[in-house]
Structure 1
Amino acid sequence: MKVGLEEGRSGRVRNSPVAWRMLGWLLLVQTTVAFVGRSLAPLSPLLERDLHLSKAQVGMLMASLFLGQSLVSLPGGYWVDRLGSRFLLLVLTLCLGIGFAVAALLKSFGLVLVFIVIGGLGYGAMHTTSNRSIIYWFHPESRGIAMGLKQMGVTIGSSLAALLLLPIALEYGWRITLIFSCFILIIVGLITYWGYRDPFSNDTRVPMEFQSFLTLLWEVARNRQLLAVSLAALGLSSAQMCLTTYVVFFAHEQLGYNIYLAGLLLFVSEIGGSIGRVLWGMISDGLFGGKRLIVLILIALVTSVCSIITSLLPTDAPFEIVLPLIAVFGFSIAGFNGIWMNAATEAVPERWSGLASGFSICIGSWGVIIGPPIFGWIVDWSHNYTTAWLFLSLIMVVVIGLLLWGGFKSDCSSSNKNHLSIF
């Protein structure tokens, strides 16, 4: 497969006012999808009490969401390359909204998990669908900030869920709160379908038989840069979810902060991630001319340093010192997603960007599924968080190695010598 970017008639509208207006629609739907999909974390204490769950079962709630994401990523990429983004934006919001609304009506934990997985299908395929839209609406030199703005919807939605849903659920119950959130999502999906347009849909849709899909998938999987980015995303996603899942426990149990201050650290990390998704995109576009791998390496380096510093914090560490540390921590590890999506989709010809995005998300999602349990097991084994944070730093070293490997490409014009293409 030839690695590069191909530009068709859609290039006429790229970076136009219409493109930025379409980005607004994508940001709106991405935010609302995250608002519902990430509602499980703040509502978990109420689900635990109502459904009589153990802590392990509580952990299965988020794992089920991302299991659905992993299962749908490849077929989602296949269908968005065939059908375009507009129709799928509606279908996926309906899938997530109906799946979670049905889960809110059930009392059987097993059935709740099943419908969370179904909702996860809509949540996960939304990434591949919206990523493909960014590729077609924006030139490479501005995709970093565009993708960062779109991905900022994830952390904005997560922050809004943490800020709004738990107080509402305490007043009216988690079931009514979740159903109402799903109703909002479905309305946004309908409005987005009315307002959003694919650029030159007849040119950008790719008719493809299933056998051809399997052949293309094999070619995509052999792309070294895409494979390296996807494996690195597994480690980065793992670190992101470990921070999100355990920063409150760490601050409360090891640093001795009250629940309010510990929860404030989680909120700050999400805000830092929202800012990071935009600023890392600007850094990638402005300072490094669209070279995504070097920016991912910088993110991994900052994350590694933050992990080490966090592991060394004394039990009486002042809150005014920990707060900016966690903000930078979130800025780095919760801000990598837009750069990841750019690196994955730009590794292949753009007409296959949906499949490349799905392939990369399929691999990267497993970091979210397996990372937090391993982190938690280390905490249980060591009876503190120090070793777990150091383990996170070690993961970042592996991530950097993978990205360096992915950046080496064979240069046939210079006696087949390798050169590092990320600099």
Structure 2
Amino acid sequence: MTRRWLVLAAGVAAQATTSSFLYGVAFLIPELRASTGVSLAQAGLLVSAPLLGLLAALIAWGAAADRYGERVVMAAGLVGTGALLLGSLFVPGLVLLGVGLLLAGAAAASVNAASGRAVLGWFGARERGLAMGLRQTAQPIGVGIAAATLPPLADRFGFVPALALPAGLCLLTAVVVLVVVVDPPRPPRPAVTESPYRALTGRTLVRLHAASALLVGPQFVAATFAVAFLVSERGWSPVAAGRLVAVVQVAGAVGRIVAGVWSDRVGNRLGPMRVIAVVAMVTMVGWALGDAFDSWLSVVALVAVLIVSVTDNGLGFTATAELAGPFWAGRALGVQNTAQNAVAMAAAPLFGALITAFGYPLALAAGALFPLAGALLTPVQGERRLAAGVDAVEVEVRP
């Protein structure tokens, strides 16, 4: 059925567009400092404002998607993001700019909650892994768009015109969503729907959220410090280090798709997720040992971390929606995303402090504990029991 692939494409476009804003503000720090004279710390606060808004609003938008449907929530959020972002560019003072960016980030959270729900709803169990893997490529696509367009726009026209680009793209994508997206069919809604967190699925969901959050640790440690590590520890130029990281992003996006197909083939999500967690732990240890012995293997291991650490994202999201069921999937995905973003925001300052105090080898070895704990927490047996029919719930599927 062509419609479901169009919905998938629209979901990817919406997620990529909001990602170009959420993660693209960081690319404008040099121009922001040059034009306004803000300190690096103040610029960092402005960069974090959209992510704080995202973190605060994910569960609420998920609840809205459960109640009102994916199409209207995605479109409203995209319009809100574009309008609030444009408005924030013309307010006086950095404080109001930060508030505008925070509110725009909160509006962008609608896409995180609803686009994954729409994609999962249109694809059957044997294709959901592939579909969610494709959808999860949206973030690196959005970051790539921002990296390619925002710095040169800022250099030529300034901070405001540069950030107006993602704002305009959000408004344009809202129109695409309204035209293309159709909410997936759902079974009749009962008068009372029990929370999956109170049913037998609750323990499995909580463990899944915790494991997925822990597995974000290596991803953001590598993404945050890869360039700095290659420059300071291996003597690379910043340009060469940046190019390597950009190329590896493509491999990471492909890895998400491969992991999704793998989960479809084996008939479960969390078995592959645990394997990926173990491999992520091994690559983190390899990175630490390579640096401790001043070996070129540290670069190979770093590349492996950058690729492996992102491949589990779609598996956790797919399993969350399948376990939560059609009337709670949006909220459960909001909880999942909130936990992951909380760890992501904490990872950079935490490991920055560890690297400063103890050096890369010990800090990276400590980072390997995150995927180890994630592997131990991944509820593989819980998913298998529920799949066998014990209190199992199913997300809506295409007709």
Structure 1 length normalisation: TM-score? 0.83
State the match for 1:216 in structure 2. 195
Q: Which amino acid aligns with 1:386?
A: P
Unaligned runs of 5+ in 1: 1-15, 417-423
Q: Is the 8 A contact 1:152 1:274 kept in 2?
A: yes
Report matched runs for 1:29-48 at 5 Å: 29-48=14-33
Q: Is the 8 A contact 1:272 1:328 kept in 2?
A: no
Which moved further from structure 2: 390-399 or 347-356? 347-356
Query: Pick from 347, 350, 353: which aligns with 1:374?
Result: 350
Cα 1:222–1:137 change in 2 (3 A) is closer
1:317 Cα deviation after fit: 5.2
Q: Can you list the C-alpha shifts for 1:346-397, whole angstroms capped at 9, x where unaligned?
A: 1122232112111222222211121111011112222x32222112111111
Which moved further from structure 2: 34-43 or 53-62? 53-62
Counterpart check, 1:400 vs 2:375: yes
1:409 Cα deviation after fit: 7.5
State the match for 1:304 in structure 2. 281
Using the alignment, how far apart are the partners of 1:300 and 1:107 within structure 2? 46
Which moved further from structure 2: 41-50 or 299-308? 41-50
Using the alignment, how far apart are the partners of 2:160 and 2:295 within structure 1? 39
Using the alignment, how far apart are the partners of 2:283 and 2:383 within structure 1? 31
Using the alignment, how far apart are the partners of 1:207 and 1:109 within structure 2? 48
Counterpart check, 1:389 vs 2:368: no
1:93 Cα deviation after fit: 0.9
Using the alignment, how far apart are the partners of 1:387 and 1:60 within structure 2? 28
Counterpart check, 1:63 vs 2:48: yes
Q: Which amino acid aligns with 1:356?
A: A
Q: Can you list the C-alpha shifts for 1:242-295, whole angstroms capped at 9, x where unaligned?
A: 222211111112222111012113213322221111111011112x21x11122
Q: Is the 8 A contact 1:270 1:334 kept in 2?
A: no
Which moved further from structure 2: 165-174 or 82-91? 165-174
Report matched runs for 1:15-414 at 5 Å: 16-106=1-91, 108-200=93-185, 203=186, 216=195, 219=198, 223-286=202-265, 288-289=266-267, 291-314=268-291, 325-382=301-358, 384-404=359-379, 407-408=381-382
1:21 Cα deviation after fit: 2.1
Cα 1:411–1:75 change in 2 (3 A) is closer
1:86 Cα deviation after fit: 0.8
Q: Is the 8 A contact 1:43 1:165 kept in 2?
A: yes
Q: Which amino acid aligns with 1:392?
A: G
1:410 Cα deviation after fit: 10
Cα 1:223–1:325 change in 2 (3 A) is same
1:207 Cα deviation after fit: 8.6
Using the alignment, how far apart are the partners of 1:400 and 1:332 within structure 2? 14
Using the alignment, how far apart are the partners of 2:35 and 2:21 within structure 1? 19
Q: Which amino acid aligns with 1:78?
A: A
Q: Which amino acid aligns with 2:320?
A: A
Q: Which amino acid aligns with 2:114?
A: T
Look up the SS of the partner of 1:313 in the other structure.
Answer: helix
Look up the SS of the partner of 1:340 in the other structure.
Answer: helix
Cα 1:31–1:258 change in 2 (3 A) is same
Q: Which amino acid aligns with 1:260?
A: V
Q: Is the 8 A contact 1:268 1:323 kept in 2?
A: no
Q: Is the 8 A contact 2:248 2:307 kept in 1?
A: yes
Q: Can you list the C-alpha shifts for 1:332-352, whole angstroms capped at 9, x where unaligned?
A: 112322111101111122232
Cα 1:45–1:236 change in 2 (3 A) is farther
Using the alignment, how far apart are the partners of 1:264 and 1:323 within structure 2? 14
Look up the SS of the partner of 1:216 in the other structure.
Answer: coil
Q: Can you list the C-alpha shifts for 1:168-212, whole angstroms capped at 9, x where unaligned?
A: 221221221111221122112112211221134xx468598xxx7
Using the alignment, how far apart are the partners of 1:207 and 1:251 within structure 2? 56
1:326 Cα deviation after fit: 3.8
Q: Is the 8 A contact 2:288 2:298 kept in 1?
A: no
Q: Is the 8 A contact 2:286 2:298 kept in 1?
A: no
Using the alignment, how far apart are the partners of 2:201 and 2:112 within structure 1? 22
Look up the SS of the partner of 2:323 in the other structure.
Answer: coil
Look up the SS of the partner of 2:195 in the other structure.
Answer: helix
Q: Is the 8 A contact 1:135 1:353 kept in 2?
A: no
Q: CA RMSD in A?
A: 2.7
Using the alignment, how far apart are the partners of 2:165 and 2:269 within structure 1? 39
Using the alignment, how far apart are the partners of 2:196 and 2:99 within structure 1? 28
Look up the SS of the partner of 1:141 in the other structure.
Answer: coil
Using the alignment, how far apart are the partners of 1:334 and 1:101 within structure 2? 31
1:408 Cα deviation after fit: 4.4
Q: Is the 8 A contact 2:222 2:302 kept in 1?
A: no
State the match for 1:6 in structure 2. none
Q: How many residues align?
A: 386
